[in-house]
């Protein structure tokens, strides 16, 4: 079994369609889908807001690198171009966690090294896994305990939308 948490985001083109393409592309591996959030951009690059969501996925045939490759394939299908770090993008698929794997490999760092700093990951994740935990600096911490540690501005930049990712469109 390989259970992973994926954070997906888009702020170029038809962002909702880009997010939907991930859900469609992962098919039956998708266990849970968060609501869609509108979020302020992160990282200091001037750009429009993102649409973000979190997926919980499970596929015994994939490990952390398998989820990374699937995410990269879906990004490529959305014409993702990596020009500027934290810049605008058609689709971003990040592996937040995969099972209890810890990895310092520069290609795949697990858990995601900045997930605990990002309200756009933590808030939707709590929608689908209220009891979620995340290892931070060697200590496993409940995600709901990490959220209040963020700056008010970080949390305030994340807004639930009425947009929905449709599991039936597959």
- pLDDT, one tens digit per residue, over 41-90 is 876 777 899 999 999 999 999 999 999 999 999 999 998 776 666 678 89
- Identify the pLDDT of residue 79: 86
- 105 catalytic? Reply is no
Residue 168 falls inside a structural domain? no
Tokens 């931070």 belong to 136
Task: Report the alpha-carbon distance of residue 162 to residue 21 in Å, rounded.
Answer: 18
pLDDT at 168 over 80: no
Residue 150 falls inside a structural domain? yes
| Separation of first and last alpha carbons in the chain | 23
- Identify the pLDDT of residue 84: 67
How confident is the model over 13-29, as pLDDT tens digits?
999 999 999 999 999 99
Instruction: Select which of 24, 80, 85, 144 is catalytic.
Output: 80
Report the domain count for the chain: 1
- Residue 128, token pair as written in the block: 């689908």
Residue 169 falls inside a structural domain? no
Taking alpha carbons only, the member of 28, 3, 6 closest to residue 167 is 28
Instruction: Select which of 3, 28, 49, 94 is catalytic.
Output: 94
Indicate the burial class of 33 (C-beta count within 10 angstroms; 0-12, 13-18, 19 or more). buried
Q: What is the CATH number of the domain that holds 65?
A: 3.30.70.560
Q: Return left, alpha or beta for 36; rule: phi > 0 is left, psi -120 to 50 is alpha, else beta.
A: beta
Tokens 């939907």 belong to 20
Print the domain residue range for 130: 3-163
How confident is the model over 102-160, as pLDDT tens digits?
888 888 888 988 999 999 999 999 999 999 999 998 889 999 999 999 999 999 999 99
- Identify the pLDDT of residue 116: 94
- 28 catalytic? Reply is no
- 94 catalytic? Reply is yes
Contact call for residues 7 and 117 (beta carbons, < 8 A): no
Residue 95 falls inside a structural domain? yes
- 82 catalytic? Reply is no
pLDDT at 170 over 60: no
- Identify the pLDDT of residue 169: 58
Residue 170 falls inside a structural domain? no
Instruction: Select which of 59, 70, 89, 118 is catalytic.
Output: 89
Taking alpha carbons only, the member of 116, 115, 120 closest to residue 153 is 120
């Amino acid at each position: 079994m390989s259970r992973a948490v994926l954070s997906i985001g888009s702020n170029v083109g038809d962002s909702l369609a880009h997010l939907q393409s991930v859900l469609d592309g992962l098919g039956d591996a998708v266990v849970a889908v968060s609501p869609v959030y509108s979020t302020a951009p992160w990282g200091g690059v001037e750009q429009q807001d993102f649409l973000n969501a979190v997926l919980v996925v499970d596929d015994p045939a994939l490990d952390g690198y398998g989820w990374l490759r699937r995410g990269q394939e879906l990004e490529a299908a959305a014409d993702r171009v990596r020009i500027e770090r934290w810049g605008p993008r058609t689709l971003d698929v990040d592996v937040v966690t995969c099972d209890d794997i810890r990895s310092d490999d520069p290609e795949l760092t697990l858990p995601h090294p900045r997930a605990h700093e990002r309200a756009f990951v933590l808030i939707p994740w709590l929608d689908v896994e209220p009891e979620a935990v995340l290892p931070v600096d060697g200590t496993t911490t409940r995600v709901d305990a990490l959220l209040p540690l963020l700056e008010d501005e970080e949390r305030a930049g994340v807004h639930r939308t009425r947009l929905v990712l449709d599991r039936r469109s597959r």
